[in-house]
Amino acid sequence: MIDNLLFCKNCQGGGNKLFEMTNEIYRVIIRAKSEYELFSDICRVAVHTGKYSVCWIGEPDHETQLMNYIVSYNSNDEDIEVLNNYRFNDESPTGRVLRSGTYYLTNDFNTEPWSEQLKKYLWSRGFQSYLTLPIKKGGTVKYTLNVYSDNKYIFSQDQLQFLEGISDDISYAIDNIENQRLKNETQNRLNELSSFIHRAESTAHIGSWKVNFESQLVTCSEGACRIYGFDKNLGTYSYNDWLSFIHPDDLEDVIKSDEEALKTFSNTEKVFRIVRQDNTIRHVNSVNYFDLNSDGVAIGMYGIIYDVTDIKESEDALQQSESNFKLMMDLIPQSIFLKDLDGYFIYANKSYCDLYGMSVKDLNFKNWRDIQIAGNDPNQFIKVDTAAVETGKTQRLHDFLFIDYQGNERVFDIIKTPFYIPATKRTAILGILNDITEQKKADKDKNDILDDLIQRNRNLEQFSYIISHNLRSPLANILGISKALDAADITSEDAKLLIEGLMLSSEKLDSVIRDLNSILHMKHTNLVKEDIDLVQLLSDIKQSIFLVLQREHVVIKDDFSEISHLFSVKTYLYSIFINLISNSIKYRRKDIDTVIEICCTRNSSGILLSFKDNGTGIDMQRNGDKVFGLYNRFHQSIEGNGVGLYMVKTQVEAIDGKISVESEVNVGTTFTIQLKTK
């Protein structure tokens, strides 16, 4: 460009001024850091060194066709206002420059299609010449450089060549500035990204790496170096050096995994241990990807590595904590479960699972409706669960009877309470079952012992009564008669009567003593149990009292269809049968035939043996508490000694049973014997 400016015939100052202006513009271009700084200095040099009147640069808005003023030199406020309101079109100077990409020159405003208003303003400012040059950015006209002069025909061909060259240089400088800006911006972004990656790697304990298969070199990021304990200033290691840091117990698996992945170029993820130079062991998770060339050949591998030592240790600690918790829960005697509102078990300890004969693994996540055992009432479970959820309060269920999978009766005190699970944001039911079966059994045993003591006390009272009444009365008669027989004036006839009375009293005394001996003998007899055929037992009894049954028109109906055999003490059972049958015959009604119904059935408590007759019955309101007492008689007109039912009760209790009675006068009596199955 300088060669074209060596001769300028029509410009002020000649070639020296152009040369000086060229040098100064080049200095401006070299040191400019921004477009605005470049534009400002260009306008200043054009006025100061180029001796032009005004120089300004604007950016055209193609939509509004207005010029956006950017910078100017030697212009006043009115100039700027005019410039901001200047509207161009395709035939205006600005429009022609934008379309053609070349300069537009006016050396005489009168010969150009300027608006009269603009011409008047330019003349008022003393401008005689005007030049508009295109300034390109990225190959497209982006700005216009506008120069005004007070002289006509100042823009000679030499000056035009010079100014066109300046325009190209400015365009080139703008592209350089933009490129440098983009470069700086990119570099800043890279620096920010690199800094962010470093911070992220440091915070998240991650790093990145890359392996070049040809060079067998591994390049590691700062984060990866930190994880492996490498020197971060090196950053590049051989593949064998990298392998040497893998824990010996995991090395074979890592190599095998990479070899398998290489066959299909599949991405892999694996967790293994590394051993740092300071011998500390870390757990890492490596995600690997293959780097393929355009031919689909693997030329390397890259990936991300995570230091998961803290996570692994936390998981191990959590797993150990869970194991300890499960062990503790399985060792406690209470049965504990957690189930959702749909009835699915979330957790159940061993004690609870044992009730259903299932393992913890088999029961968890099953629905309780699918494991119900026959004999249990599910409505009770639902009722308590519903109450706990609806009220949000703990519910207690006392003395709850439960049948386990083996058919054993268990008694529980149950606590059920709402339990919120944060992970699912749902409410579940926490149940705690306290097994009080043994406690209930112990309480029953205590009550049985107490009942036995009470009964023994009653027996003692009975014996005391027998001694004070039944024994003392005949004994007193004997003593009285003996004294009477010693009298000197007794007649033979009186003596005979006294001797008869003595015999009766002696027989009565002997009867009482024999009864007491039978009772005492029964209480101290070892019980031998055997299988008893009830049909045969009753047949034997019928045979032994055949004449009585026939004479008194007694009918015995039996039903042993449900249970026909008992494992018990045969002599006692025979005595019970014969006493109760004899009792029914003795207290029969005279106006109807006597019917005795005997049956043996099973109920929830064991075996039920019943004897029912249609006899005279007993007034239970008056004598209900005396039925099984010793020497208690309720029909004085009927012969008896009041020992039979006492003996029956004693024998029933001796074979671990209970006897009860229901009776109504002139309707009949039913004796019911409850026997345990064992």
Domain boundaries, the chain: 3-182, 205-313, 332-435, 441-523, 530-675
Mean pLDDT taken over the chain: 81
Is the pLDDT at 520 greater than 70, yes or no? no
Distance CA 56, CA 80 (A): 9
468-475 — which CB contacts under 8 Å span 24+ positions? 470/512, 470/631, 471/509, 471/512, 471/513, 473/508, 474/505, 474/506, 474/508, 474/509, 474/512, 475/505, 475/509
Map tokens 């019970």 to a residue.
576
**Residue range 460-488: mean pLDDT, rounded:** 65
pLDDT score recorded for residue 486: 73
Is the pLDDT at 8 greater than 50, yes or no? no
Contact 615, 635 (CB under 8 A): no
Query: Whole-angstrom distance between the N-terminal and C-terminal Cα of the chain?
Result: 126
> pLDDT tens digits for 365-400?
888 888 888 878 777 777 778 787 788 888 888 888
Q: Between 518 and 14, where is the model more confident?
A: 518
* % of the chain at pLDDT higher than 70: 86
pLDDT score recorded for residue 7: 32
Which has the closest alpha carbon to 462: 412, 506, 515? 515
* Within this chain, domains 3-182 and 332-435 share the same CATH topology: yes
Distance CA 472, CA 478 (A): 10
> pLDDT tens digits for 269-293?
889 998 988 889 999 988 888 888 8
| 58-62, 417-421, 656-660: range with lowest mean pLDDT | 417-421
Distance CA 127, CA 147 (A): 10
Distance CA 527, CA 575 (A): 14
pLDDT score recorded for residue 543: 85
Contact 264, 288 (CB under 8 A): no
Distance CA 621, CA 635 (A): 15
Indicate the class that CATH gives domain 205-313: alpha beta
pLDDT score recorded for residue 535: 93
Cβ count within 10 A of residue 574? 17
Is the pLDDT at 609 greater than 90, yes or no? yes
Give residue 599's pLDDT band: very low, low, confident or very high (50, 70, 90).
Answer: very high
- DSSP code string of 266-317: --EEEEEEEE-TT--EEEEEEEEEEEE-TTS-EEEEEEEEEE-HHHHHHHHH
Q: What is the CATH number of domain 332-435?
A: 3.30.450.20
What is the helix (H) or strand (E) element at residue 362, kind and residue range? helix 360-363
Give residue 548's pLDDT band: very low, low, confident or very high (50, 70, 90).
Answer: confident
* Helix 644-654 / helix 570-586 crossing angle, nearest 10 deg: 150
Q: Which fold has domain 441-523?
A: Helix Hairpins (1.10.287)
pLDDT score recorded for residue 640: 47
**Residue range 88-109: mean pLDDT, rounded:** 86
Give 44's contacts (C-beta < 8 A, 6+ positions apart): 73
Give 204's contacts (C-beta < 8 A, 6+ positions apart): 306
pLDDT score recorded for residue 562: 93
**Residue range 507-522: mean pLDDT, rounded:** 62
Give residue 15's pLDDT band: very low, low, confident or very high (50, 70, 90).
Answer: low
Contact 437, 454 (CB under 8 A): no
Give residue 141's pLDDT band: very low, low, confident or very high (50, 70, 90).
Answer: very high
The sign of the CA dihedral 243, 244, 246, 250 is: positive
Beta pairing, strands 268-275 & 236-238: unpaired
Is the pLDDT at 558 greater than 90, yes or no? yes
Distance of CA 284 to the CA centre of its chain: 29
Q: Which fold has domain 530-675?
A: Heat Shock Protein 90 (3.30.565)
Give residue 13's pLDDT band: very low, low, confident or very high (50, 70, 90).
Answer: very low
**Residue range 624-647: mean pLDDT, rounded:** 62
Q: Please list the residues that pair with 415 across neighbouring strands.
A: 396, 432
**Which residue type is seen at 362?**
D
Task: Say what the pTM is.
Answer: 0.41
**Which residue type is seen at 663?**
S
Q: Which fold has domain 3-182?
A: Beta-Lactamase (3.30.450)
